Amino acid sequence: MKSTFLFVLIPVILFTLLQTGWSQHRYWVFLKDKGNYEQLSPEAQRLEVSRLVSPRALERRSRRGTDVFNKGNMWQDLPLEENYLQQLKKRGFGIHAKSRWLNAVSGTATPENLDEIRELPFVKSVQPVKVWKFARVKYRAAPAKSFYKNLLRDSIIVDYGSSAFQTEFHNIHQLHYLGLNGAGVVVAMFDTGFRLSHPALQTVKQQLLAEYDFVQMDSVTANQPGDALSQDSHGTFTLSVLGGYAPGDVVGPAFGANFLLAKTEKVDQEINLEEDNWAMAAEWAERQGADIVSSSLGYSVFDTGQNSYTYRDIDGETTIVTRAANELGRRGVLVVNSAGNEGSNSWHYIIAPADGFYVLAVGALDATNEVTGFSSRGPTSDGRTKPDVCALGSQVVGAGVSGGYVSASGTSASCPLAAGIAAQVLQAYPDLNVFQMLDILRRSGDTSRFPNNDRGWGKIDARRAWAFAGNQSYQPPEAFRALPPRPNPIRRSSGVMFFPVELKNPGQIRIDIYNTLGQRINTLYYYGTNMQNLVPWNVRNFHGNPLASGMYLYHVSSADGENSGKLVVLQ
C-alpha cells in the first residue's frame, strides 16, 4: 500500500483506498428494472416523479436541464421496486443507501448471502462499495487583518477583512458592487459537517433551506455524539469561503445565496469512507431544488485490487460519484468540484467526480497566479482537458471551528471560491444551462485561448464571466499601466505591499526591487491577465529577511510596457 500522509497539511478531503476485510462486506446491488413502476401509464409515472421531486427542482429542470418528462429521465427518477428491496432484506442484505438514478442499493451482506443475492432474477450486478480513509488536515492562523487592510480600502459594499485578497484576486467584489451575491440561487454544500454557530455563518443559518447527515442518517450536520472532535472543521471552512458574511473578517462571493447542507463524510482516523454517501446526497440535493453543488471532497485511489478504481476509470462515466454528478448535470445542476491535491504524488491526475462531463473541476493557484505543485493535473483518461479552471488555493482565509479565522491551502479552498462566482453569475442570468455555465466560466479564465492540463482554461474571473454571460464585450485595458504600489510608505509590520498592474495582453509581470545603491535585492514574477492585477510583495529581500527602513526603487516590466518608481519602508 502506498503512503497516505502526503497531503496532511492541505485541507482537501483526500482518500486513499484501503483493502480491509471490513470493506468487503459493503456492496452495491444494481437492479435490472423498476418493477411495477414500469407498468404505470406515462401520466401516472409523471405524477409519481412530481410527487418525489420538489416544484423548484422541476422548474429548474425544465429551465436548465433535459426535459424532466423525457422517458429516460422519468425512468431514472422512479422509485426502486419495494418488493425487490424486501427480497434483498430477507436474504440478509442490510440496506444503507438507495439510488433511484443508478437503480441500485448499497448495504452489507455476508459472502454466503451475497452468492444467493446474485442469483435473484431482478439483480443485474453486484460490486463492492469503494472505500477510502480520511487524511487528517491542519489549518494555520489567519493573517492579521492589518495584513490586508489596504486592499479594497475604498469598497462601498463591505469591509472584506482578511478575505480581501482572495476577493480581489478574482474580481468578486466587482459583482458585489452590482448587487450580485448569489441571492435567489440555491447552493448545496457536500462536506464533513458545519458549525453554524460561527459568526461568519449567521447569514447562512438564516438562509438555510435544509440539511441532512448522510453518515448518521439524521438532520443534524453539526457535530454530535459519535463525531470526531474535528469533524466539522473542513465543512465550516469551505462554507465560509463560499458564503460566509462577517464584515471585517471574511466575506464570501455568494453570501446572499440559499443553502442546502449535506454531511457526507465521517472524519476519524479509524473510520473508512464510502462513495455511496455522496451519491445519496446528490439525489437529495437535486430534489430539494439545488442550482449548484460545491463539493470540496474527492476520491483518489492508489492501490490495486478488486476494490480499486484506476486512472482508466477517470473517464467521466465510471465511478459512482462521477455518474451521480453527471445525473445532476442532466437535471440542470452545476457541480463544482475540487480537482484534487494529487499533482505532486504518483497518482498525479484529477480525482472523481472532477472528471465528470457536467463538472467544473477547480485547480489551485498561489498568490503569484502560478499553479501549485499539489494541484491535480489532467487529462482525463479519455483525453479531455482538466481541470476546467483554477482559483486561489494557497492561504485562503475562512472560518475556523474555534470561532476565529484560519488560512488553508488546497483545492478544497479553491473550489468554493469558484462555486461562489458561479452563483453570482447565475443570479444575474438564471436561464443559463449547465453547458452554458461551463463555457462562460471557462472563457473567463486567463488561459482560455490555450487551455492546458495544468491550469485548464486558467484563473476564473467573476467580472469577465458576468460580461460573457450577458454577451457584453469585455474591453481589456487599452495600454499597459503600472499604478503606484500600496500602501506606500509601508511599515514592515503591515505585512504586504501590492503593485497594481494593468496589461493589454495576458503575460508575465516582472518587478525588480533595488536599494539606493542600485543593487537588486528582490525580483517578483507574476502571470497577469488582461485587466488589473495585484502583485503581492512581503517587503523582504531575496533571502527572506525584512528590509531595513528607508527608500527603495522598483521597476515593473512586461511585454506591454514598463514603469519605475520609489517606495518607502518604515520601521
Q: What is the CATH classification number for the domain harbouring 222? A: 3.40.50.200
- DSSP β-ladder status, 258-263 and 208-213: parallel
Q: Rounded to whole angstroms, how far apart are CA atoms 524 and 511?
A: 5
Whether the Cβ atoms of residue 414 and residue 392 lie closer than 8 Å to each other: yes
Question: How many domains in the chain?
Answer: 2
Whether the Cβ atoms of residue 243 and residue 322 lie closer than 8 Å to each other: no
Instruction: Specify if 185 maps to a domain.
Output: yes
Instruction: Specify if 475 maps to a domain.
Output: no
**What is the residue range of 544's domain?**
481-570
Residues of the chain with pLDDT under 50: 1-24, 133-136, 146-150, 153-156, 269-272, 302-306, 473
Q: Rounded to whole angstroms, how far apart are CA atoms 468 and 472?
A: 6
The phi and psi torsions of 511 (rounded to 5 degrees) equal -125, 120
Q: Rounded to whole angstroms, how far apart are CA atoms 359 and 314?
A: 13
Same domain, 217 and 298: yes
Which domain-ending residue is among 469, 492, 509?
469
- Which are the contacts of 313, defined by CB distance < 8 A and separation ≥ 6? 319, 352, 381
Same domain, 246 and 348: yes
Same domain, 465 and 486: no
CA distance between the termini of the chain: 53
User: Where does 351-428 show beta strands of DSSP type E?
Assistant: 359-365, 389-392, 396-399, 405-408
CATH of the domain at 521: 2.60.40.4070
Same domain, 240 and 175: yes
Which domain-ending residue is among 444, 469, 494?
469
Same domain, 543 and 514: yes
Instruction: Specify if 82 maps to a domain.
Output: no
Instruction: Specify if 356 maps to a domain.
Output: yes
* 494: nearest Cα among 145, 247, 140: 145
Same domain, 455 and 556: no
Same domain, 271 and 402: yes
Q: Rounded to whole angstroms, how far apart are CA atoms 14 and 12?
A: 6
Same domain, 533 and 423: no
Q: Rounded to whole angstroms, how far apart are CA atoms 477 and 265?
A: 46
Same domain, 509 and 425: no
Same domain, 232 and 377: yes
Instruction: Specify if 164 maps to a domain.
Output: yes
Label residue 79 exposed, middle or buried (CB < 10 Å: 0-12, 13-18, 19+).
Answer: middle
Instruction: Specify if 541 maps to a domain.
Output: yes
Instruction: Specify if 129 maps to a domain.
Output: no
Please state the pTM of the whole predicted model.
0.80
Same domain, 506 and 449: no
Same domain, 437 and 520: no
> How many Å separate Cα 532 from the centre of its chain?
25
